[in-house]
Chain A
Amino acid sequence: MPESTATAVLSLDDGNQIVGLSHGLESLLGWPADELLGEPVGKILADPTGNHPLNDPQSGHANGLTGLRPDGVTLSLDVEARHWETDQGNFLTLTMSPTASASGDGPAADALAKARSAEERFDALLDASPDGIVVTDRAGAVEIFNAAAERLFGFREEEFIGHPLLELLPSLTRDVDEGAFTHVLERLERDFANGPRECQATRKDGSSFPVELSVGQTSGAGSDCFIAVFRDVTRRHTAAAALARSEANLRMSQALAHLGSFEAVYPSDDDGYFSDEIFRITGRDPAAGMPPLDQLMDELIHPADRDDVAQAITASIQQGGLLQMAYRIRRPDGAIRHVKTAARISPILTTDTWRVSGTVLDVTDTHKIEAALRLERDRAETYLNLVGVMIVALDKQGNIKLINREGLETLGYAEDQVIGRNFFQLFVRPEQREATLERFRDSLEGHQAISPLQVGWLMTRDGDRRLVEWRNQFLRDASGTVVGMLGAGQDVTGQHRTSAQLKEAEEELRLTFRHAPIGMATVDLAGNILSVNQSLCAMLDCAEEELLGALLEDLVHPEDQLEQDALRDRLLAGEIEYLRDEKRYVRSDGTIVYGVVRCSLVHDSRDRPLMIVAQIVDRTEQMLAETEVRQHRERLVHVSRLGTMGEMAAGIAHELNQPLTAISNYAQACQRLLDRSALEPDELKTILSKINAQAKRAGQVIHGLRSFVKERNVERRPIDVKQLLADVMMLAEMDTRSHGMGLTLEAETVLPRVQADPIQLQQVLLNLIRNAVDAMKDTAQREKVIVMSARATSDDEVELTVIDNGPGVALEHRPQLLNPFFTTKEDGLGIGLSFSRSIVEAHGGRLHFDDNPDGGTAFHVTLPTVPEQDG
């Protein structure tokens, strides 16, 4: 290529983007080609005035445009623009040269310059052309290889110059040897008179691609040359192939989707376009074609839906927009199909016609399926929500796909709050989450088989813990791949709690039994020991092993063992709930344990006697204590007796005084008579015996007192009541007489005997009489009388009564009268009556008081009698 003074040619597409450029551009403006291809022209060319010559549809000149170099230097350019229309689109060529032009030397120079500039232009044109242009000599060897050709084939011009053109078209030269290339070319040239022709070209790297080739022959300057123009139609091919494919796809899709498309003009006599699927849907023969639109609609649309369709069409026309309707059509064979139509109805301007285009979808099956599905779904939903367990479906990540009402209720969420969220995130506690997730993943991936039953704790929205038993299975898609897990979960928290509670209760019971402070044993119905606790072992000084299996009765003291235990029989028969008995047990060292044993019967779950639970309380200490108490009490009773005695002292003194006085009188009388010598022996005798009698009398008083006062053991024996009363009378008279009160005895002639300690009963009666005396001694009444009476009130009771006619007991004192330490006496201890009551009650009797109808109080002592023995 001859050196030029930098003329550059650009080709631009519709969008003013650079699609081709000549080498000259690089030398003119300094931009490398690859930085400009595809760029907007404004990158290199600017109009200082703001008007762009390229906006002018007409070709033309423009001078003084500014060209931009990469370094920012500008250059003034003269630009010639030319529009080209091709069926690849319209494009524009710009021929640019620096504004200042070199002046020539004359016509030769002018002609030379013209020729040169023409050549430059030609070169520039060549280089700017988007098509590959190759010029060969007569033999077909390449002389010119333009920039586009370089790009197309991957050869640089220098590389390929001299090579046969047909090297680029091996497909055409397969069976042709090199010598015949010219013929091929010629033939091509002839063929291409009809226009370009497609063939496969080969690039430098060996890849082939489709080209549209035109070949021309020209003779210039006396030499023939071929000019071949290559247009890369790969894209077009690809596009065409794609189109064909997509058309095929479309047809196929339509067939699959029962979707037909159509386009028609209404009103018109022309056939509209109806896709195959339309015919299939409507059941018509494609060969027969379609009638005009209005007729077609009449024939097709189900009468019942016609009005609705008409309305929809009218509305669409009025409002514009997409027409969408669902209606039924009738096939020629009478079958009814459900269809959905989406169409656009647009008026064709300047005509009275409309273009109608759209799709028709046969939804019959869908309709049926949908209906069936809906039914199915409703049923499934009902089942899902009726079932009493939680149903949860998770995808492979553990996100919730489905959850039934039971599940929502148990976990405390609404459906929209959980669908799609991660089950483990929501419901499993953080500390257990990882382990649970891992198990989940493992089973999904098949590393671990799903266990048929899994139990785990879930956390509800409120923070409650619920124990759930899961039955899981895989969810698979149509191909059998696992896509998730379906679980049915049962809330067993209650049961868990119950069983936990049960265990706790059991443990508690066991510990209670083990560590109870009283001896406990369980015994079978035959009396063999099943279990014992520590207290019992300690009580009997036996090791547990020694006791287990032994007969409980064997541990009882021989004297307390029973051959037949009526109580136990009644217990086993269910007549009594528990039995209580006092038995002595023998320890391993032979010592005695005083025990109180309580047994109750335990039933099994079917209410049959199962075993006996025995509780044994060691009463030995208590017994000893009781004995001590009894001894204390007796001592106290004794002291009380002494007290009573003390109170009677005045009376006693008085009583002793009488016989003493008499003795002294008698003796002194004797002395006087002797002084006067007036004492006859007989009289002396008489007097002496009287003295004796009085001495005895005094002795008796002392004797009675002494025996009363003596500390003694309680001796109960059958005693004669009358004798008792007589003894009491003797002792009591001293008291009453000394106070100027009368004491009388009223007793039935025959009185049964009572089992009693006579001294104790004497104490009681004396105490009562004493109280009567005290009550009356300071009163002003004239006659003060105490009556002691005895009578048999029934076959087995005797009542002794002490009645006074004193002031009686004040109402406010009555409730406390028999209480210990209650007294109305100034110097009283208040123990007399309470002791009396104790003594009487210890004899199996009662002590009570009431009013004497004649004024005063009556104290009653009732005692059980000794049954008279037969024989």
Chain B
Amino acid sequence: MSYTDPIAFIVDDDEAVRDSLALLLKASGLASRCYSSAEDFLANFDQSEYGCLVLDIRMPGMGGLELQSVLQQRNIALPIIFITAHGDIPMAVEAVRHGAVDFIQKPFDDQTLVTKVSEALNASTHQHEEELERNEVRRRVESLTARERQVMTQVVQGKANKVIASDLGVSQRTVEIHRSRVMEKMQAASLAQLVRMVLIAEADI
């Protein structure tokens, strides 16, 4: 897992718009990469990378909305900023309903654009980090034995060792041993941390 900088992925069929947008972002200290079509993006996107999408709604071939639903299907959770022309408001609303972060009308005010992209990138970073963490936690959970997992589940429910022992039909001592192993494997310094980790892991279980 590498910690890379978030990238703004620019997808627009108009070359001048792409180029000028990239320059603007660069001038604002934001990294970007351009794709001439939705298909192009899908073909070349590296899942290890993260960032946000700056997406033109109207494009020949696969349009912006369609790309959005494809990404959703593939569980690629990139925040999307739609670029629209005036008459696309209904479309844009639709897009937001489906989970787009925002949309901007052409021609844009640069500050608006930079701000939104930054926010999106930040959001993306957070997301990324969270995802990293989640993955780590899950990995740790994976490393637990079945028994250990059982114990963990009970522990985070706030049950005393004694109760856990009687539930599971083992001795209290066994429970204590399991518990410490869980704490170790999970690298939780406290019960609170353990709970938090379980919550994180369970987020998409």
Q: Interface on A for B, CB 8 Å cutoff?
A: 650, 653-654, 657-666, 668-673, 676, 678, 687, 690, 693-694, 697, 736-742, 782-783
Contact = CB atoms under 8 A, between A and B. Distances in A.
A742 to B, nearest CB: 4
B187 to A, nearest CB: 42
A665 B60 contact: no
B86 A668 contact: no
Given A650-B87, A653-B85, A665 B17 contact: yes
Nearest to A733: B60
Nearest to A649: B87
Contacts of B60: 736-737, 740-742
Contacts of B61: 740, 742, 783
A653 B21 CA distance: 20
A673 B110 CA distance: 12
Given A650-B87, A672-B24, A657 B106 contact: yes
Contacts of A660: 106-107
Contacts of B20: 661-666, 669, 690, 694
B7 to A, nearest CB: 18
19 contacts: A654-B58, A654-B85, A660-B107, A661-B107, A662-B16, A664-B108, A665-B17, A665-B20, A665-B24, A665-B110, A669-B24, A670-B27, A672-B27, A672-B110, A678-B27, A740-B59, A740-B63, A741-B60, A783-B61
A738 B85 contact: yes
Contacts of A783: 61
Contacts of B87: 650, 653-654
B26 A738 contact: no
Interface string B57-70: 01111110010000
Q: Which 3 A-B pairs rank lowest in CB-CB distance, beginning with the nearest? A: A665-B20, A668-B110, A662-B16
B23 interface: yes
Interface in B120-155: none
Contacts of B108: 661, 664-665
Contacts, number: 90
B17 A662 contact: yes
Contacts of A782: 62, 66
Contacts of B59: 740
Given A653-B86, A665-B108, A740-B63, A658 B16 contact: yes
Given A654-B58, A654-B87, A666-B23, 10 more contacts: A653-B85, A661-B20, A662-B20, A668-B27, A669-B20, A669-B23, A694-B16, A694-B20, A742-B60, A782-B62
Contacts of A678: 27
Contacts of B167: none
A740 B67 CA distance: 13
Contacts of B102: none
A661 B106 contact: yes
A426 B64 CA distance: 113
A739 B58 contact: yes
Contacts of B107: 657, 660-661, 663-665
Interface in B14-36: 14, 16-17, 19-21, 23-24, 26-28
A662 to B, nearest CB: 4
B58 A740 contact: yes
Pick from A659, A660, A740, A782 the residue with the most CB of B within 10 Å.
A740
Contacts of A741: 60
A666 B15 CA distance: 13
A44 to B, nearest CB: 160
A782 B108 CA distance: 29
Nearest to A659: B16
A687 B60 CA distance: 27
B26 to A, nearest CB: 7
A676 B16 CA distance: 24
Contact of A662 (B14, B28, B86): B14
A841 B173 CA distance: 99
A16 to B, nearest CB: 159
B176 interface: no
A661 B17 contact: yes
B32 to A, nearest CB: 12
A736 B61 CA distance: 11
Contacts of A664: 20, 107-108, 110
Nearest to A697: B16
A676 B26 CA distance: 12
A667 B28 CA distance: 13
Contacts of A687: 23
Contacts of A676: 27
Contacts of B85: 653-654, 657, 738
B104 to A, nearest CB: 10
Contacts of A742: 60-61
A676 B24 CA distance: 13
Interface string B70-82: 0000000000000
A671 B24 CA distance: 9
Contacts of A659: 16
A391 to B, nearest CB: 108
B24 A658 contact: no
B96 to A, nearest CB: 19
Interface string B94-125: 00000000000011101000000000000000
Nearest to B106: A661
Contacts of A668: 24, 27, 110
B178 to A, nearest CB: 54
Contacts of A737: 13, 58, 60
A612 B29 CA distance: 97
A654 B17 CA distance: 12
Nearest to A673: B27
Contact of A672 (B28, B58, B106): B28
Given A650-B87, A736-B60, A741-B60, A665 B23 contact: yes
Contacts of B66: 782
Contacts of A740: 58-61, 63
A624 B99 CA distance: 67
Contacts of B106: 657-658, 660-661
Nearest to A674: B27
B107 to A, nearest CB: 4
A110 to B, nearest CB: 191
A662 B19 contact: yes
B27 A669 contact: yes
A747 to B, nearest CB: 20
Contacts of A669: 20, 23-24, 26-27, 110
Pick from B14, B19, B20 the residue with the most CB of A within 10 Å.
B20
Given A657-B106, A661-B106, A665-B108, A690 B17 contact: no
A664 B110 CA distance: 8
Contacts of A672: 24, 27-28, 110
Nearest to B59: A740
Nearest to A737: B60
Pick from A666, A668, A741 the residue with the most CB of B within 10 Å.
A668
Nearest to B58: A740
B28 to A, nearest CB: 6
A674 to B, nearest CB: 9
A686 to B, nearest CB: 9
A666 B108 CA distance: 11
Nearest to A742: B60
A697 B17 CA distance: 13
Nearest to A785: B60
A28 B160 CA distance: 212
B12 to A, nearest CB: 9
A736 B13 CA distance: 13
B63 to A, nearest CB: 5
A736 B87 CA distance: 15
A125 B137 CA distance: 210
A664 B105 CA distance: 13
Contacts of B19: 662, 690
B113 to A, nearest CB: 8
A678 B24 CA distance: 13
Contacts of A662: 14, 16-17, 19-20
A421 to B, nearest CB: 110
